[in-house]
Amino acid sequence: MYIFTITASDAFGNNKKIEIKAGTPEEAILILKQEGFRAEVTDITDARRDSIWTKLQSIDFFSKFSQVPRKDIMRLIKMIGNSISRGRTLKNTLEFIGENEDNKTLKKVIQKLVERMEKPFASQVEVFSIYPQYFDEEFLGIIEAGETSSNLGSYLKDYVAEKKKQMALSEKFQSVLIKRVSTLIMICIVAVVVVIFVIPQFKALFGEELEIPWAMNSLLQTSDFFVAYGIYILIAIGFTVASFYYFTTSNEKVRWWWHDFILHMPILGKTLRTFYTAQFSYLLSTLLTKSVDIIKSMQIIIKQSKNVCMIKTYENIVVGMQGGDDLFEAIIRENKAGHDYLIPTIVQAAKVGGATASLGETLMDVRNDLDELFVIRLERAIKGFSIIFYAIIVLFAVFIAYAIGSAIITFYNNAQSLV
């Protein structure tokens, strides 16, 4: 497999550099065309093998550590929206903001945007697309819609307000995972220290004459196993994690299996499906209310998505709508095919919105309801996970306490025989 870098144009004639993974140049061009882009084999500017070494070489570690924080990008977009609403041009706005910006990294981004505006461009989308890590497809879609109306300033302010809500929900979800993982790592470190360095002291204490209680004997056997094979266990864990990461990022079937698995896990799966459905409602409603075509909106949603199961669902919905279905019929058809990743609430919203010619507004109302539902399900998932998590910790602590306690009592009761 190769990773091809291709200069392609979208349905609106905007040129973009896109990376496609394929076996041959012809296959890469075919994939692009299926996604709605126009390109030829001669438009391929680079091709490199898809390997771990290639991926490591392609990582720009300096830029990873010099990223502009998301909150500063939101602040920039909000200032652009406010300035444009007051009648300033985009170029004047960027120049004014750049002169007064204190964040050096953000200042460089603004300067690059200004420099790009000094070159010929057909759309402002081409200006912001030089920084895909900061300005996503949703933002570019709103810029494109704002160029055909006089509401770009208000569009951008609405975008920032809604994006902050999404960021707050995502940060809440991520913070829970980080806290639990951090706690688990600390507990594992403490457990390893106790089992490998503390427990073996009891073996020397008991010597060969006293019988070691079963609980302490179990810990001693575990300790001996980790001392003898610990390095191999660490290597095996590292290899397993690296292999899992490689195959879930490089193999389509493995990635599909993994994403489908987490979407159908007890508690967590329903929570994630609620989150993805809320994201779908938010993006589609935001773009539709900004007069973006529904097919174009769906293509933006596809590019914004990371879960391959959700991407395939959205692609099938697009195919259905291109074949004459409305959104409601396309979702129903997808659910009947067994791809029930969008929760049922969206079906009713699509039906009502299509019947009343207010799909964007209806989806926005549903999105607000789904946000509340997501918070409820997230809290429920956190509670359920915490019960299991702390129950395991307590059981492990009780077992170690029992092992140490029984060993001390046994040693004390037999201390006379050692004299």
Is the per-residue pLDDT at 63 higher than 50? no
Mean pLDDT of 150-155: 84
User: Which pair of tokens denotes residue 345?
Assistant: 């609430």
User: 67: helix, coil or strand?
Assistant: coil
The DSSP code sequence of 277-343 is HHHHHHHHHHHHHTT--HHHHHHHHHHH---HHHHHHHHHHHHHHHTT--HHHHHHHHHHTT---S-
Q: What is the pTM of this model?
A: 0.70
390: number of Cβ within 10 Å: 11
Token pair, residue 46, equals: 């680079």
- C-beta neighbour count of 207 within 10 angstroms: 9
Q: Estimate the crossing angle of helix 214-250 against helix 359-413, to 10 degrees.
A: 150
Mean pLDDT of 120-124: 83
Confidence label for 62 from pLDDT (cuts 50, 70 and 90): very low
All structural domains of the chain, each given as residue ranges with its CATH number in brackets, are 2-59 (no CATH), 70-164 (1.20.81.30), 199-419 (no CATH)
* CA of residue 284 relative to chain centroid, distance: 19
pLDDT score recorded for residue 260? 92
Q: Which of 377, 371, 346 is nearest to 169 (CA)?
A: 371
Which residue, 305, 155, 156, 288, is CA-closest to 296?
Answer: 288
